[in-house]
Structure 1
Amino acid sequence: MSDDNGRNDLRMPDDDEVFAEVTDMLGANRVKVRCADGEERTARIPGKMQKRIWIREDDIVLVEPWDWQDEKADITWRYEKQEADQLRDEGHIH
């Protein structure tokens, strides 16, 4: 999974996904995120992630914006802190 210099092969966004940073916890399995495309969206934490993956403010996540309501999205992936640092180092996120 990782090579000699400590770089991991990270999951990159699919065509319909964007990087986002969690800015606020709203409760009821919802968070406010600031997406890489400049949009602020309300993102939903899907049921399969709720108990297994804890999402906190300032986490870097992948979200999939809804086709029919652009201000909303579903979280599809959460990056560990070191993975998020690597994404910043490589210029994928700011």
Structure 2
Amino acid sequence: MTENDSRRDLRMPNDDEVFAEVTNMLGANRVKVRCADGVERTARIPGRMQKRIWIRENDIVLVEPWDWQDEKADISWRYEKSEADQLRREGHIQ
């Protein structure tokens, strides 16, 4: 199996979303993330993801920064480890 055979079409960020890495679990459905734009934000795990998708430290996620409070954001997507590795290979994230 070549590298192109394993390539998947991944969800890419919309205009108002950025890639981020979870750096710290804060509890109460909150995590600390380091965004691709260089800003550390406190991100909220929305109710629709709380029990279905487990988010851990070092996970790659998509966050949607709040436009009225830049140091906060909402998590909109979590990438699997293989998907995160593909994003790194393709140069989307470091």
1:5 aligned counterpart, secondary structure? helix
Instruction: Report the residue type matching 1:71 in the other structure.
Output: E
* TM-score (structure 1 length as normaliser): 0.96
Secondary structure in 2 aligned to 1:85?
helix
Q: Is 1:8 matched with 2:20?
A: no
Match of 1:30 in 2: 30
* Residue 58 of structure 2 corresponds to residue 58 of structure 1: yes
Write out per-residue CA displacement over residues 37-85 of structure 1, whole angstroms, 9 at most, x where no aligned residue: 0000000000000000000000000000000000000000000000000
Alignment coverage as a number of residue pairs:
92
Aligned residue for 1:88, secondary structure, equals helix
What is aligned with 1:69?
69
Gaps of 5+ in 1: none
**SS in structure 1 opposite 2:62?**
strand
- Unmatched 5+ stretches in structure 2: none
* Structure 1 residue ranges (4+ consecutive) displaced by more than 4 angstroms after TM superposition: none
Q: Distance between the aligned counterparts of 2:16 and 2:4, measured in 1?
A: 32
More helix by share: 2
The SS at the match of 2:5 is coil
